[in-house]
Chain A
Amino acid sequence: MHNNVVGTCEFMCPTTEIQMRERENLLHTFEVLESREKMKRPRADRSKAVKEFTRSAAGRSDPRPSDLRPTSVLVKTVDYLLERIVPKQDVKWHKIYDFVADRLRSVRQDIVIQRLAGPEICLVFIKCIRFYLYAAYRLCEVPVSLFDPHLNGRQAIECMKASLLHFSSLEVPLLAELQELESLYLLFNLGSLDALMHVYESSADVRSCARVQLALAVNETYLAGNYVRFFRLVKKLHFLDLCAVHRHIPQMHNLALNRMSVAYNSKIHGYPMEHLRPLLMLDSTDKVAELCMRHNLLVKEGQIYFLKAAWKESGLANPVKWIFCQEKDRKTAQTSMQLVQLLLIGGSTAVS
């Protein structure tokens, strides 16, 4: 049993790695010295190079302290990524995602290897989570070859689970961030009994705050199949909470139409599309029609004919940037500065 390794690397990227990647021409565009970027073998910009994620392989010797970054450097690294890389406008965002997600993974790896803990580490975790959840929303309409929501989701969940442990072992609790974390965890894992039990077993301080109460209410409506209240509540969520719950929305659309196909079953009478549209927060009656037709429900002259016998199960549609989401995005994360603030400090615990 050896003692924890203590990292001594002062830079965002260890020198040995910079030298190696310069040599092998493996620097990322974001990491090169501007004056030299057009050259065949660009040089690294020390202030921009960030340690890559590499899998710890069996048989490899333990990492040297000079390759590991201590807490203060990790904090600086994460802040650099979120402040400087995330808001870049000159590159397609999925490429930004690839870079940032990889470098954050390396940050988390340094944390694990050194078994770091404490409030600054908790804040590092929560910033990572905010990034993953925001990315899940921002890139939801991008083809899966460019962004895989499953892989992103896995990183997010891994990070959330680690955070929950770290937060629970703090001597002085970070209440606001913990409330945020519990709420995001519950919403991202909507319907999960585990996540729900976890919230119920947390302290009253956490559970009773408005943000977590709203998340619990959303979860309850989801489990109860109360599609009307579900969307009403979702509209009230903080933007990050909306990003967390976003991927579950198609399931609720599905459920609503399924319930209605049984309850409004009629060969003669229809249900007006324009009435359903706002209940399900869909963008237009065309979108309502599209959804109905996916499930083989007849749509004619602005009316939906709910027929139990006609209903066809169909794979879930992918979540998209519905107008109500875009509106919240505009209010919260429109400008670069707003986006950075969102990721660095997450916004207040007050319900928007």
Chain B
Amino acid sequence: MGAFRICASDNRAQSADSKKWGMLNLINQLFKIYFKINKLHLCKPLIRAVDNSNFKEHFSLSQQVTYKYYVGRKAMFDSDFKGADDYLSYAFQHCHIMSRRNKRMILIYLTPVKMLLGYMPSVSLLQKYDLLQFADIVSPVRQGNLLQLNEALIKHEAFFIKCGIYLILEKLKIITYRNLFKKVYLILKTHQLSVDAFTSALRIMGVDDIDNDEAQCLIANLIYEGKIKGYISYQHQKLVVSKQMPFVPLTSLK
């Protein structure tokens, strides 16, 4: 940390000799430590320092990739998924083709982020990087199968927890509900959907102890988050959706 401060505050030397060149490497080392000890908030001042520097683009590519990897992971932690996508995608694309292990590590974090933004990974990609654990997650999310998703999360619990992505994957549950409800809408082909239909759909998917109140609650949350355009009528026990694209495409959300 002391070394970092010396580098960062080197204002006197000329550009070519400045100690500032050492900055990013040190920052990356510090990131590594902060992630290991689980004190991510300590990353913030370092990120600010880099943002404020005008050397940003001129550091070596490998250092930039490492930097963006960590900043991307921090963004995930802060639920800034768009930001995380930008950073981690950059890291993945610019990571040296031969660094298989590094590419795999980036992908471990990029995959859930992409999934939350509505982009599902292909099985061939997951196979190539030995990340088939995600394949067990992709299909239930697409189908809206809550039960299978839960089973997959439990099956690969140890792996997801070790990588620190278990909690992010939990967020996929709401996307799963959304996909299930969209299917109900497509089947019923009407803009006035009875809540019973959603409750039944959830029961069929294995959620045994669900009732109309809870189904309404799940729908309410989706409406609140802007994932469904419509409103619930308690009177008629119906979800009334907009006639135009009521299920907002996931890829267009923030």
**Are A269 and B220 also in contact (CB < 8 A) when A193-B167, A200-B161, A224-B174 are?**
no
| Interface of chain A residues 163 through 202 with chain B (CB within 8 A) | 193-194, 196-197, 200-201
Count chain A residues whose beta carbon lies closer than 8 angstroms to a beta carbon of B: 28
210-234 of chain A: CB within 8 A of chain B: 220, 223-229
0 or 1 for each of B161-178: is its CB under 8 Å from A? (1 = yes):
100101100100110000
Q: A263-B232, A272-B234 are in contact. Are A201 and B221 (CB under 8 A)?
A: no
Query: A262 within 8 Å of B by Cβ?
Result: yes
Query: Which residues of chain A are within 8 angstroms of B220 by Cβ–Cβ distance?
Result: 259-260, 262-264
Minimum CB distance partner of A275 in chain B:
B234
B223 CB contacts on chain A under 8 angstroms? 262-263
Question: Which of B43-51, B113-121, B137-145, B211-219 forms part of the interface with chain A?
Answer: B211-219
Q: How large is the interface on B (under 10, 10 to 19, 20 to 34, 35 or more residues)?
A: 20 to 34
Residues of B within 8 A of A99 (CB): none
Q: Is A279 an interface residue (CB 8 A)?
A: yes
* A259–B174 CB distance below 8 A: no
Residue from the set B173, B216, B217, B224 with the largest chain A CB neighbour count within 10 Å: B217
Within residues 242 to 269 of chain A, which ones have a CB less than 8 A from any CB in chain B? 258-260, 262-266, 269
Q: Is A80 an interface residue (CB 8 A)?
A: no
Contact A220 B170 (CB under 8 A): yes
Contact of B232 among A225, A227, A264 (CB under 8 A): A264
Task: Check B167–A196 contact: CB distance below 8 A.
Answer: yes
* Residues of chain B in range 218-235 having any CB-CB distance to chain A below 8 Å: 218-221, 223-224, 231-235
Interface status of B122 (Cβ within 8 A of chain A): no
Contacts of B14 in A (CB 8 A): none
Interface contact B221-A259, CB-CB below 8 Å: yes
Name the residue on A nearest B211 (C-beta): A228
Please report the number of residue pairs spanning A and B whose Cβ atoms sit closer than 8 angstroms: 62
A266 — which chain B residues lie within 8 A by C-beta? 231, 233
Q: A200-B161, A220-B170, A224-B174 are in contact. Are A263 and B219 (CB under 8 A)?
A: yes
Q: Once the chains bind, are B214 and A269 in contact (CB under 8 Å)?
A: no
Q: What separation, in Å, do the CA atoms of A226 and B218 have in the docked complex? A: 7
* Residue in B closest to A266 when the chains form the complex, CB atoms: B231
Instruction: Tell me which residues across on chain A come within 8 A of B233, comparing CB atoms.
Output: 264, 266, 269
Q: Check: B38 CB closer than 8 A to any chain A CB.
A: yes
**Contact of A271 with B by CB under 8 A:** yes
B217 and A226 within 8 A (CB): yes
Known: A263-B231, A266-B233. A228 touches B213 (CB 8 A): yes
Chain A minimum-CB-distance residue to B222: A263
**Cα(A269)–Cα(B236), bound, Å:** 10
Known A226-B218, A259-B220, A259-B221; contact A269-B167, beta-carbon cutoff 8 A = no
Which of A229, A258, A262, A270 sits near B214, CB closer than 8 Å?
A229
CA A259 – CA B205 in complex, angstroms? 25
Contact of B173 among A197, A224, A227, A270 (CB under 8 A): A224
CB nearest to A261 among chain B residues: B224
A296 to chain B, nearest CB (A): 18
- Complex Cα–Cα for A220 and B213 (A): 18
A229 to B219 alpha-carbon distance, docked (Å): 13
- Interface hub of B38, B166, B167, B232 (most chain A Cβ within 10 A): B232
Contacts of B170 in A (CB 8 A): 220, 223
Q: A225 CA to B221 CA in the complex, in Å? A: 7
CA distance A272 to B233 in the complex (A): 12
Instruction: In the A-B complex, list the 6 residue pairs whose CB atoms are closest, starting with the nearest.
Output: A263-B220, A228-B217, A228-B214, A263-B223, A259-B220, A262-B224
Q: A225-B221, A258-B224, A259-B220 are in contact. List 7 more A-B contacts (CB 8 A).
A: A194-B38, A197-B38, A201-B161, A220-B170, A259-B221, A260-B220, A270-B234
Supply 22 A–B pairs (Cβ within 8 Å), ascending by A. Answer: A193-B77, A193-B167, A197-B164, A200-B161, A200-B166, A201-B161, A224-B173, A224-B221, A226-B217, A228-B213, A228-B216, A229-B217, A259-B220, A262-B223, A263-B216, A263-B220, A264-B232, A264-B234, A269-B234, A271-B234, A272-B234, A279-B213
